[in-house]
């Protein structure tokens, strides 16, 4: 009886090894690979240029990209094209990070969100609107009207004419 009582008292004062999830969440490691995020430039334009290299690199065939042409009156990203449709099927994704490595503009990155649960299969398909960063404060959402000829190349470090 005393042995049992001692065990109870010892565990009562010992610091718990668990946390009260979901009220408490443990920080993830620096190299954690969670749900994807589509990045924007500081001026609000989208980094994704619709090249589909991420889809080609994906071993699980989880990414679908449909590109469309930018114009200066309706511009989503620097360069000629943008992703009109961008979808990732999270049921297929194995979080390998190959898409991130393949992207020439660092548009797709694996973030730290790990809370992915679905009640039906269609809810597992994350669209561009669900994945993309919010528009930076004070910037225009896409599509933007941009000066002619300024955004003809898909280079990441492009000077922002709005600055």
Helix residue ranges per DSSP H, the chain: 2-13, 53-57, 98-102, 128-131
Contact between 93 and ligand SF4 per CB under 6 A: yes
Which part of the chain contacts ligand SF4 (CB under 6 A), choosing from 6-14, 104-112, 117-125, 135-143?
Answer: 104-112
Residues 115-144 that bind ligand SF4 (CB under 6 A): none
Neighbouring C-alpha atoms within 13 Å toward the C-beta of 1: 0
**How far apart are alpha carbons 135 and 37 in whole angstroms?**
13
**How far apart are alpha carbons 134 and 141 in whole angstroms?**
9
Q: Which of 40, 45, 62, 144 binds ligand SF4 (CB under 6 A)?
A: 62
Q: Which of 45, 63, 131, 132 binds ligand SF4 (CB under 6 A)?
A: 63
Residues that bind ligand SF4 (CB under 6 A): 48-54, 57-60, 62-63, 65, 83, 88, 93-99, 102-103, 105, 107-108
């Amino acid at each position: 009886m005393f042995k049992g009582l001692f065990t109870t008292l010892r565990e009562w004062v010992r610091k718990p090894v668990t946390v009260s999830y979901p009220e408490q969440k443990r920080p993830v490691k620096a190299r954690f690979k969670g749900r994807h995020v589509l990045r924007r430039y500081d001026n609000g334009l989208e980094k994704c240029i619709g090249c589909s290299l991420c889809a080609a690199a994906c071993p699980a065939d989880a990414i679908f990209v449909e590109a469309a042409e930018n114009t200066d009156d309706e511009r989503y990203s620097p360069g000629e094209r943008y992703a009109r449709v961008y979808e990732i099927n999270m049921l297929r994704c194995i979080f390998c990070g190959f898409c991130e490595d393949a992207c020439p503009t660092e548009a797709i990155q694996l973030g730290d969100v790990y809370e992915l649960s679905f009640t039906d299969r269609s809810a597992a398909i994350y669209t561009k609107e669900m994945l993309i960063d919010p528009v930076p404060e004070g910037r225009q959402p896409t599509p933007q009207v941009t000066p002619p000829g300024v955004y003809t190349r898909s280079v990441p470090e492009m000077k922002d004419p709005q600055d």
